[in-house]
Amino acid sequence: MGRGSLLAFVESRIESGGSVVLTGSSGIGKTAVMDAIGTAAASRGELVLRTAGAETERWIPYAAMADLLGQVPTDHLDALPEPQRAAVDGVLLRDRRAVTGGRAQFACRLAWQSLLTQCTESGRPVLLLLDNAQWIDTASADTLAYAARRLTGGGVRTVAAGHRPERIGTGHGPQPSPWPVPANAVETAVPPLAPDELAELLDQYGLPARVASKLHADSGGNPYLALALGGAFTDRLPRHGRPLPLPQHVHALIGERLATLPEQTRETLLVAALATRPTIELLLRAGRADAEHDIRHAAEAGLLVTEGSGLRFTPPAVGTVLAESACASHRTAVHTVLAGVVTDAAGRVRHRALASADPDAEVARSLVTAAETALRQGSRGLAAELYLLAADRTPSEFEAERLEWLVAAAEVGAAAALPEIVHRSADAVLAADAKRAQRVRVRMALIDLSSQGLAEVDEIFAAALVDAADDPSLLAPLRLRLAWAALVDGQ
């Protein structure tokens, strides 16, 4: 269901007197949906009362009620009986009387019910918008729930948004209160943005289609995350496909989301991050007994998506942040476990190699064999990684083999659209005493990586032509790419 369909669904629910609970990961756009619903209701003359819970205000009694009561028309407040008006004044801190004790709390609940009744009896429907509802303070939640149980005529509707209380991780911090919504509330998830919807949102950055498409894949359609990632490209689009460093604010955002998860869930995610093709079945074999629960929890936090039986982090940098946060000995232990449970030979070789950073010619050659097998099976991404890992594990006395494996990593990485592997490999070859053919091959890999940006790589062509000299076998593929670049550029 797209955003247009979602808005239509919510509108139809509240028009018929029903209520809605919007769920979804942080940044998915629940607040934006509520903005649109609130604006539409206000344009129809409805009374829109809105508040948002905050974890830091969870312990402040009646914090949310103070927000809501401050938006109620004064004439309705003036019409309240004295005990109820006194309770409202106490919530709004208009006098020294605090809303404490059972009598005062009951008066506040009656006052809220009376105010909503006055509004509906005057012919003005009420729409309550409760954002981050799981963090509304207990006193306010109890007051809202009291009225919700009694006002069933359809004149008061509620749209709440947030994480369901039972899905919030346990810990030592404040725990969420039950949601104060009517019994007829229907829960619906806010879906990710479709590629075309996200492209429209990102248009303000002037990003080319290839960047917008990558942002959609990396963000999983989460608009907040896509905008955060998109900000990294503003005024500094990647040159020649070279990956940009992860923006600090995106790194911090990922860290904050990970910090909300229990330690056992983060450990499960680390195992997934270090695996080549993580699946729940693999995690279970690796000893993560609660893998299904942990993955569901992480998905609700917007940190990954499930694709069939596989798992994909959103953005992929989540895996990087997880790996960086673990010490070397911890990563070694995880790779050792994975080496014993993965079912494919290439995966076993990869994890055994990653469990030790020491150069080893035999290990390097086994990685090359695994890379060749992966390439024959169509797993170009894995093959590129294995070629690069083989070069990293090659002792210095085998420089010729190391350079050849770096070239292979660059070429296969370009075919798999893996800019980090291509640039790491190409940079290493161009910085070494490589053969002319090897230098030309990695430069062509850089050109191939540029894809739609062929017209932007003139200097790479120039350098490659210098390296090729008058060798026909090197000039032919370069001339073909030059012709294609001219065609793309409209020449």
- pLDDT tens digits, one per residue of 371-389: 999 999 999 999 999 999 9
Q: Do both 210 and 80 map to the same domain?
A: no
- In a domain? residue 219: yes
Q: Do both 68 and 212 map to the same domain?
A: no
Among residues 189, 214, 247, which one ends one of the domains?
189
- In a domain? residue 85: yes
Give the CATH number of the domain where residue 171 resides: 3.40.50
- Using 50, 70 and 90 to split pLDDT, how confident is the model at 178? low
190-199 average pLDDT score: 87
User: Is pLDDT above 90 for 92?
Assistant: no
Which whole-number Å values give the CA distances from 181 to 6, 19, 145, 381, 463, in the listed order? Answer: 19, 8, 6, 48, 66
Q: Do both 118 and 22 map to the same domain?
A: yes
Q: How does the average pLDDT of the chain come out, rounded?
A: 86
Q: Do both 56 and 142 map to the same domain?
A: yes
Among residues 155, 189, 223, which one ends one of the domains?
189
- Using 50, 70 and 90 to split pLDDT, how confident is the model at 129? very high
* pLDDT the model gives residue 433: 92
- Of 30-34, 65-69, 122-126, 469-473, where does mean pLDDT reach its minimum? 469-473
- In a domain? residue 49: yes
- In a domain? residue 303: no
Q: Do both 32 and 78 map to the same domain?
A: yes
279-287 average pLDDT score: 96
User: Is pLDDT above 50 for 171?
Assistant: no
- In a domain? residue 22: yes
Among residues 131, 155, 189, which one ends one of the domains?
189
User: Is pLDDT above 60 for 237?
Assistant: no
Q: Do both 88 and 161 map to the same domain?
A: yes
Instruction: Give dist(CA 75, CA 95) in Å, integer.
Output: 19
- Of 68-77, 86-95, 197-206, 366-375, where does mean pLDDT reach its minimum? 197-206
122-129 average pLDDT score: 94
Compare 192 and 367 and report the one with higher pLDDT: 367
Compare 14 and 183 and report the one with higher pLDDT: 14
Q: Do both 225 and 118 map to the same domain?
A: no
* pLDDT the model gives residue 328: 93
Sheet (strand 186-189) strand order:
47-52, 126-131, 156-161, 20-23, 186-189
Q: Do both 205 and 139 map to the same domain?
A: no
User: Is pLDDT above 80 for 437?
Assistant: yes
Angle, CA 307 vertex, CA 304 and CA 311 arms, to 5°: 45
* pLDDT the model gives residue 176: 44
Residue 109, sorted as left (phi over 0), alpha (psi -120 to 50) or beta, turns out to be alpha
User: Is pLDDT above 70 for 310?
Assistant: yes
- In a domain? residue 381: no
Q: Do both 103 and 205 map to the same domain?
A: no
* pLDDT the model gives residue 173: 44
Q: Do both 185 and 199 map to the same domain?
A: no
| Overall number of domains in the chain | 2
Instruction: Give dist(CA 27, CA 256) in Å, integer.
Output: 13
* pLDDT the model gives residue 424: 94
Q: Do both 37 and 158 map to the same domain?
A: yes
Q: Do both 60 and 134 map to the same domain?
A: yes
- Using 50, 70 and 90 to split pLDDT, how confident is the model at 47? very high
- In a domain? residue 317: no
What the block records as the tokens of 333 is 């232990």
pLDDT digits (tens, 9 = 90+) for 321-346: 999 999 999 999 999 999 999 998 99
185-204 average pLDDT score: 86
Domain of residue 229, residue span: 195-237
Give percent of the chain with pLDDT exceeding 90. Answer: 54
- In a domain? residue 178: yes
